[in-house]
């Protein structure tokens, strides 16, 4: 086995152990006996040190012209390209994602770097006429301050990049708190930011447990903004804390996404989307296709096609080029997925395929779950309402287009949605009526692009959108500026008309 990496915190340009000296281990989910890395179990004292460094660095970083800040991010993109394969291999070992997907994860970071770098010359405000003579009015974007970025394990390069790159271009300093399942990926990413030459304190990394480090960051008086991606339950706690402390917060949380397949759909195309959406990243995406809403006229045929295609998926180690579906991230999540299968059976759903922990041969050393299809699911069942976050898809039969729309909307979540149909009128009604932040027409529920807004409605988010130009609205404050060159007092908001 490969010698475990030794990860440390990165604070004020220095690689540091936790003040307590305590450490944790990151293990390969495809082989739980392999330690990928050791990393600090940080505490509030380490958070205090990182916040102090970020606040000190903010004083000068905010004054660096935005195009110059952006040049650092462009350099990060070039370095990500250089280290792409190394990062992909590390990611596949640390969180189990097949190599093809891991490379795509890194590419997302590269794309985000080049896109965000360009925004350094486009942090546009507005000029607008004043109602007064000899008076100029404009708006400008200002940085927020110190940003705490709390990121999940399923996209350990892409999601930190989505947050860090626009935050830095906008003039903020950041503290990254990665998931404890992927410390090595986070460490390598921050090494790349450091290699790009960012000044000390501009980017900081603090490893540790969410209930300790994450909680301390969210509550810290020196943190001005929290950007969180994770479960809706944790997100609600983060939002409540930030609300009490008047702190800006961006929440990107769970999903219970559905793909509708109408009777007029191209079934082969819909099948491609369903398999990729349900089982890509082992179903461990917030945009994964957790429900398939099938028109009754094609349900039997489509179900048979889905079973045949799913039966050919190969479970295995992510670094094996023949693997289609990798492991679940850890033992706790494996048992969570297994528990939902018990719930499905109790509720009356039928397991058409899979439904069990996979432990044959080499799979016994990791956390593998069979790709699973549930049939005879009704919208009120828990498996149709709650996020499972595993390779499980529920089939729901409907008799009309209107019923399909109603069933898709009937959850507390609203991240991604999809419909396969050849009817242009239905497509436009779906675009209007589906309650989701993202809607795909004749495409799967997964596949976000960095130059478009990403986020959802209802319990999925709090109104903010990552990626695209909307990310700038997270990481900047609007300031309105008036310049009165009349030489006399002019009173706005007073009725000056005679």
| Residues marked as catalytic | 252, 286
- 180 secondary structure, DSSP code: T
For helices 66-82 and 158-169, what crossing angle results, to 10°? 160
Q: What are phi and psi of 190, to 5 degrees?
A: -70, -35
Handedness of CA 269, 275, 280, 284 (dihedral sign): positive
d(CA 467, CA 371): 31
Please give the Cα distance from 463 to 490 (Å, whole number): 38
Backbone angles phi, psi at 93, to 5 degrees: -75, -40
Q: Are strands 203-205 and 372-375 parallel, antiparallel or unpaired?
A: unpaired
Q: What is the DSSP letter of 488?
A: S
* The Cα angle at residue 132 between residues 128 and 135, in degrees rounded to 5: 65
Residues 6+ apart with CB under 8 A from 257: 277, 287, 288, 289, 290, 291, 413, 415, 416, 417, 418, 436, 445
Report yes or no: 113 and 76 within 8 Å, Cβ to Cβ: yes
Q: How far apart are CA 381 and CA 166, in angstroms?
A: 40
**Cβ contact 158:37 at 8 Å:** no
């Amino acid at each position: 086995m490969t010698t475990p990496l030794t990860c440390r915190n990165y604070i004020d340009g220095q690689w540091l152990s936790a003040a307590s000296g305590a450490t944790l281990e990151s293990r390969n989910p495809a082989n739980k006996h392999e330690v990928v890395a050791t990393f600090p179990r940080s505490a509030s004292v380490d958070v205090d040190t990182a916040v102090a460094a970020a606040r000190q660095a903010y004083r000068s970083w905010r004054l660096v012209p935005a195009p110059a800040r952006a040049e650092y991010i462009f350099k990060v993109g070039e370095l990500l390209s250089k280290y792409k394969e190394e990062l992909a291999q590390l990611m596949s070992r640390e969180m189990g994602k097949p190599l093809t997907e891991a490379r795509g994860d890194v590419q997302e970071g590269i794309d985000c770097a080049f896109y965000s770098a360009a925004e350094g010359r486009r942090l546009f405000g507005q000029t607008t006429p004043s109602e007064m003579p000899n008076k100029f009015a404009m708006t400008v974007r200002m940085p927020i301050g110190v940003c705490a970025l709390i990121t999940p394990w399923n996209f350990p390069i892409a999601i930190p990049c989505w947050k860090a790159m626009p935050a830095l271009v906008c003039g903020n300093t950041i503290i990254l708190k990665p998931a404890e399942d992927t410390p090595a990926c986070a460490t390598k990413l921050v090494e790349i930011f450091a290699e790009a030459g960012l000044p000390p304190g501009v980017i900081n990394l603090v490893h540790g447990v969410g209930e300790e480090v994450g909680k301390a960051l969210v509550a810290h008086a020196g943190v001005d903004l929290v950007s969180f991606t994770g479960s809706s339950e944790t997100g609600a706690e983060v939002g409540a804390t930030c609300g009490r402390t008047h702190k800006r917060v961006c929440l990107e949380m769970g999903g219970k996404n559905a793909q509708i397949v109408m009777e007029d759909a191209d079934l082969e195309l819909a099948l491609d989307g369903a398999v990729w959406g349900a089982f890509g990243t082992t179903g461990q995406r917030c945009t994964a296709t957790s429900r398939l809403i099938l028109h009754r006229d094609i349900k039997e045929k489509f179900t048979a096609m889905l079973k045949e295609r799913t039966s050919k998926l190969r479970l295995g180690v992510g670094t094996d080029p023949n693997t289609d579906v990798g492991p679940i991230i850890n033992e706790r999540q494996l048992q969570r997925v297994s528990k939902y299968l018990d719930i499905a059976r109790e509720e009356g759903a039928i397991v058409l395929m899979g439904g069990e922990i996979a432990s044959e041969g080499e799979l016994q050393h990791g956390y593998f779950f069979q790709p699973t299809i549930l049939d005879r699911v009704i919208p009120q069942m828990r498996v149709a309402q709650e996020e499972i976050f595993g390779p499980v898809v529920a089939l729901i039969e409907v008799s009309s287009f209107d019923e399909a729309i109603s069933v898709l909307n009937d959850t507390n979540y609203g991240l991604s949605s999809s419909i396969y149909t050849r009817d242009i009128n239905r497509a436009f009604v779906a675009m209007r009526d589906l309650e989701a932040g993202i809607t795909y027409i004749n495409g799967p529920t997964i596949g976000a692009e960095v130059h478009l807004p990403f986020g959802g409605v209802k319990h999925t988010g709090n109104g903010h959108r990552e990626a695209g130009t909307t990310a700038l609205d997270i990481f900047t404050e609007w300031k309105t500026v008036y310049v009165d060159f009349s030489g006399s007092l002019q009173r706005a908001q007073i009725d000056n008309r005679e």
